[in-house]
């Protein structure tokens, strides 16, 4: 899936303030701030994720019927510190069997031949059906573009608020 990165520039004064805290407290402040911004993006992403409303229900790899809204429910986030930088990963979680479907919906697929057995031999190519592919929907990219500046403002406001509250506590 495409990776988008936002680096918040112009936070030198907040960075100087974070240096005054212990590393553990500074990491916690950064993680909470990034998490607050990621929640806004995740909410927008879930609202833009397609839900199949009609037609035959698709089956997963095991042949079980996949319920409408499974891709939306699979969306989640993880906030961590990598090399001293807070990172938020937002998208389809691996614990769901449909995690790969979000990639197909976002980027689309090309046309292909599909046989009943799943294997394409010279004989089965004659009887294979042509699958037209899936058109790209770009719902992840659209959600990112719609909320990027709002998320930056939320992260900046949360950072400032957390720093002030810790400073008021005398930590």
75 forms bridges with which residues in the sheet?
Answer: 92
pLDDT value at 167 more than 90 = no
pLDDT of residue 108 exceeding 70: yes
pLDDT digits (tens, 9 = 90+) for 47-73: 988 776 666 666 665 666 667 777 888
Residue 34 three-state SS: helix
Identify which has the larger pLDDT, 153 or 12.
Answer: 153
pLDDT at 15: 78
Calculate the CA dihedral of residues 5, 97, 120, 52 and round it to 10 degrees: -80
Confidence band for 103, pLDDT divided at 50, 70 and 90:
confident
pLDDT band at residue 141 using 50, 70 and 90 as cut-offs:
confident
Question: 139, 156, 140, 152: which is closest to 89 by C-alpha?
Answer: 140
Would you state the pLDDT for residue 113? 67
Q: At what angle do helices 23-48 and 12-19 cross, to 10 degrees?
A: 140
- Which residue did the predictor score with more confidence, 166 or 14? 166
Per-residue tokens: 3: 């990776």
Q: What is the pLDDT of residue 55?
A: 63
pTM value? 0.74
- Percent of the chain residues topping a pLDDT of 90: 12
> Is 21 exposed, middle or buried (CB count within 10 Å of its CB: 0-12, 13-18, 19+)?
middle
Least confident of 26-30, 34-38, 65-69, 150-154: 65-69
Residue 23: pLDDT over 90? no
């Amino acid at each position: 899936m495409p990776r988008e990165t936002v680096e918040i520039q112009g936070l030198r004064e907040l960075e100087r303030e974070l240096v005054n805290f212990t590393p553990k407290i500074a990491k916690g402040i950064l993680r909470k701030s990034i998490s607050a911004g990621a929640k806004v993006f995740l909410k927008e992403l879930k609202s833009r994720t397609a839900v199949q409303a009609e037609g035959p229900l698709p089956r997963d790899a095991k042949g079980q019927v996949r319920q409408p809204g499974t891709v939306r429910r699979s969306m989640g986030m993880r906030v961590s510190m990598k090399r001293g930088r807070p990172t938020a990963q937002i998208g389809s979680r691996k614990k769901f069997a449909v995690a790969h479907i979000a990639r197909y919906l976002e980027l689309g697929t090309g046309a292909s031949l599909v046989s009943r057995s799943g294997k394409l031999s010279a004989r089965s190519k004659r009887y294979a059906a042509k699958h037209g592919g899936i058109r790209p929907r770009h719902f992840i990219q659209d959600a990112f573009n719609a909320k990027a500046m709002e998320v930056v403002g939320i992260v900046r406001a949360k950072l400032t608020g957390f720093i002030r509250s810790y400073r008021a506590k005398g930590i």
